[in-house]
């Protein structure tokens, strides 16, 4: 998946599961860690 971001600077928190993309509070993340990792989220900026 990271190859789609070649040539870009990843914005924090990088390429992570959608639930881990800047969670804001209760309910943003599941109790089961495998659910938190899919689908992916990422944001890259062209340098």
Please tell me whether residue 10 adopts helix, strand or coil conformation: strand
3-state secondary structure of 36: helix
Q: Cα(42)–Cα(9) distance, rounded to whole angstroms?
A: 10
pLDDT digits (tens, 9 = 90+) for 2-47: 999 999 999 999 998 887 787 777 777 778 777 777 788 899 999 9
Distances (CA, A) of 10 to 19, 33, 40, 41: 17, 23, 13, 11
Tally of structural domains, the chain:
1
Check residue 44 and give its pLDDT: 95
Domain containing residue 12: 2-45
């Amino acid at each position: 998946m990271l190859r789609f971001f070649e040539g870009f600077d990843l914005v924090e928190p990088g390429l992570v599961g959608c639930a881990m993309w800047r969670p804001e509070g209760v309910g943003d993340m599941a109790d089961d860690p495998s659910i938190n990792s899919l689908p992916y989220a990422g944001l890259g900026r062209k340098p």
